[in-house]
Structure 1
Amino acid sequence: MVDPASDGGADSTVEAVFDAVAATAPEIRAALPGRRVESGTENASGESVLAGDLYADELLGEAITAVDGVGSFVSEEREAAVDAGGGVGEGAYAVAIDPLDGSSNLRSNNAMGTVVGVYDAPLPATGRDLVAAGYVLYGPITTMVVADADGVREEVIAGDDGGVERSVVETDLRLPDDPLVYGFGGRVPDWPADFTDYAREIEDELKLRYGGAMVGDVNQVLTYGGIFAYPALVDAPDGKLRLSFEANPIAYIIERAGGTATDGEQHILDVEPEGVHDRVPLYVGNEELVERLQAALA
């Protein structure tokens, strides 16, 4: 096993955050079969929440707020930040989590994941304040992709709640130069005309890979090259994805892997948020494809 924290330059608090995320992954995965039902509650964005969402949020909240140096924990499932007692200012991080991305796939037993952003500033903050980001993918194998200033790596998470190992299987993930796949969210009738025109071009060039969980769809792009988008919609001009929990961390990962991300007008990491639950359109992938899309939307 390769120890991901063996690099003496790695920040111990940031690594401890990803240790905590990895440690919860087997327990979250094992608990999902019995939590495929509605919880009877709504999250801060007014969406119905499954029992699996709440369980993952509870586990991750307990694990991350226990990490020394974490000042606050912010979750898609919670209205406001939780004070983790790690202080403020330099050395105290805000950790933003989407506990169970793609939880609507739980009933159909398709891919889901957990998205993590580690910010060196209180939230809401821009993506430029991220110092690391990552995601866990609950696929046939439980993997974790971690991005920081040194690049992007992929790990396999193995074990159970009695002991978990993080094994690095790829030390320098990069988007392939020859893109192969695309995945676009939202109902096609709700797409704006300029985005629809772009999609018609792309479908002649790339293979469709869309599974309804952003983590899984972005992982396809990171593996094979291409573009993922959840666009602004006619009836939802701000899109669906949350800036702090989803768009910023994914944009950070893809940028570190050699790609880029935009909201259609500016880089995702430059978007100034008003609140922690702000939504934003997201277009992310190989630079040439994203630049073509931004030109089409201009």
Structure 2
Amino acid sequence: MTVDEILDAVATAAPEIRSGLPGRRTKTDEQNVSGERQLAADVWADELLGERIGAIDGVGHYASEEREDVEQVGEGHLVAVDPLDGSSNLLSNNPMGTIVGVYDDDIPTTGRSLVAAAYVLYGPITTMVVARDGAVTEYVVEDGKRRDVGAVSLPEDPTVYGFGGRVTDWPPAVEEYVTEIEAELKLRYGGAMIADVSQVLTYGGIFAYPMLQSRPSGKLRLLFEGAPIAFIVETAGGSSSNGAMSLLDVEATSVHQRTPVFVGNDDLVDRLEARV
């Protein structure tokens, strides 16, 4: 019941978040714990989701990419949220989303303790993709309600790829891998993880934000982004990796721990691991 309530709370908040974006495109004077200057939309979406999710019985802790520490709000699940993934796209009016992971454990933990993960994509329409109980389902969100539009499974024939980070900052092995697959796949990269992962789930392929020469641990946060997205992609029939193992097996020992992220079709992830 608690998981349903969490997912319903996110779906209910989604139209409010989307409708509130136009007036919140400016940057605040504050930085989040990752050193990124926050948009007004980041702060507002976090406050809205924190209030709604924190009020649910069965939620013990609320963790957000926009907050330094995990907040205890009751007893039960740890809910980790990236309130506005790809918020830098707001200035250029490109897609962004919300990511939610529901863990049956507290930090330290791994993605194996996830009981559900979901993302909302604010694209031409608002959709919500949910992984739980061994299945992935896509919903269209209308008036704060979820309408089931079918099961999601990763296509067997991959079509697209998207890699984040500056090419000049990629390790040589990553650059060699991308050179290899760009002859097979179409480039699709929009600067918001959710939009790029949605492309992979729709058409097959691989999304990555790799380890960088200047940042060996990568950019994305394990608890908020890496593990929940890995849970969705693996449940849909794909694979995930940090370059050496499934992202679901990587232990999060701190709230804002970073990790390289590779998710997509099995063969593409296996080939990547063989190179890096």
Fold conserved (TM > 0.5)? yes
Large movers: runs of 4+ above 6 Å = none
Match of 1:95 among 38, 61, 79: 79
Of stretches 105-114 and 148-157 in structure 1, the one that deviates more from structure 2 is 148-157
Q: Which residue pairs with 1:46 in the alignment?
A: 35
Name the CA distance, whole Å, in 1 between partners of 2:178 and 2:94: 24
How many Å separate the matches in 2 of 1:294 and 1:201? 14
- String of CA shifts for 1:126-171, please: whole Å, max 9, x gaps: 1011000010000000000000123000000011xxxx2210001x
- Aligned match of 2:181: 202
**In the alignment, is residue 293 of structure 1 matched against residue 272 of structure 2?**
yes
TM superposition shift of 1:266: 1.1
Q: Which residue of 1 aligns with 2:11?
A: 22
Per-residue Cα deviation, 1:25-58 (whole angstroms, up to 9, x for no partner): 0110001001111011011111111100001000
Query: Helix, strand or coil for the counterpart of 2:168?
Result: helix
2-structure distance, mates of 1:233, 1:83: 34
Deviates more, 1:123-132 or 1:201-210: 123-132
Corresponding residue number in structure 2 for 1:33: 22
Contact 1:135 1:144 in 2 (8 A): yes
Cα distance, 1:274 vs structure 2: 2.1
- TM-score computed with the length of structure 2 as normaliser: 0.99
Match of 1:139 in 2: 123
Runs of 5+ unmatched residues, structure 1: 1-11
Shift of 1:289: 0.4
Deviation at 1:123, TM superposition (A): 2.6
1:126 aligned to 2:110? yes
Looking at structure 1, the residues matched to 216 and 138 of structure 2 have their Cα atoms a distance apart, in angstroms, of 34
- Determine if contact 1:124/1:244 at 8 Å carries over to the other structure: no
8 Å contact from structure 1 (residues 147, 252) kept in 2? yes
Aligned to 2:209: 230
Cα separation, 2, equivalents of 1:194 and 1:65: 43
1:242 is aligned to 221
Counterpart of 1:165 in structure 2 is 145
- Residues in 2 aligned to 1:81 and 1:23: alpha-carbon distance in whole angstroms: 23
Count of equivalent residues: 276
Indicate if the aligned counterparts of 1:72 and 1:82 stay in contact, CA closer than 8 A: yes
Amino acid at match of 1:167: R
Q: Residue 33 of structure 1: SS of its match in structure 2?
A: coil
Unaligned residue ranges in structure 2 (runs of 5+)? none
Please give the per-residue CA displacement for 1:211-263, whole angstroms capped at 9, x wherever unaligned: 00000000000000000000000000000000000000000000000001000
SS in structure 2 at match of 1:107: helix
Q: What letter corresponds to residue 38 of structure 2 in structure 1?
A: V
Structure 1, residues 174-212: CA drift from partner, whole Å, max 9, x if none? 000000000000000000000000000111000000000
Please give the per-residue CA displacement for 1:81-118, whole angstroms capped at 9, x wherever unaligned.
11111x2xxxx100000000000100000010000000
TM-score, scaled to structure 1: 0.92
Distance in 2 (alpha carbons) for counterparts of 1:165 and 1:97: 20
AA of the residue aligned to 1:100: L
| Counterpart-to-counterpart distance in 2, 1:133 and 1:157 | 16
Q: 1:124: Cα distance to partner?
A: 3.6
Taking the aligned partners of 2:169 and 2:134, their CA distance within structure 1 comes to 39
- Which residue is equivalent to 2:155? 176
RMSD value over aligned CA atoms? Answer: 0.7
Work out which of the residue numbers 188, 200, 203 in structure 2 matches 1:221: 200
| Residue aligned with 2:156, SS | coil
SS in 1 for 2:41: helix
Counterpart of 1:97 in 2: which secondary structure?
strand
Shift of 1:122: 1.0
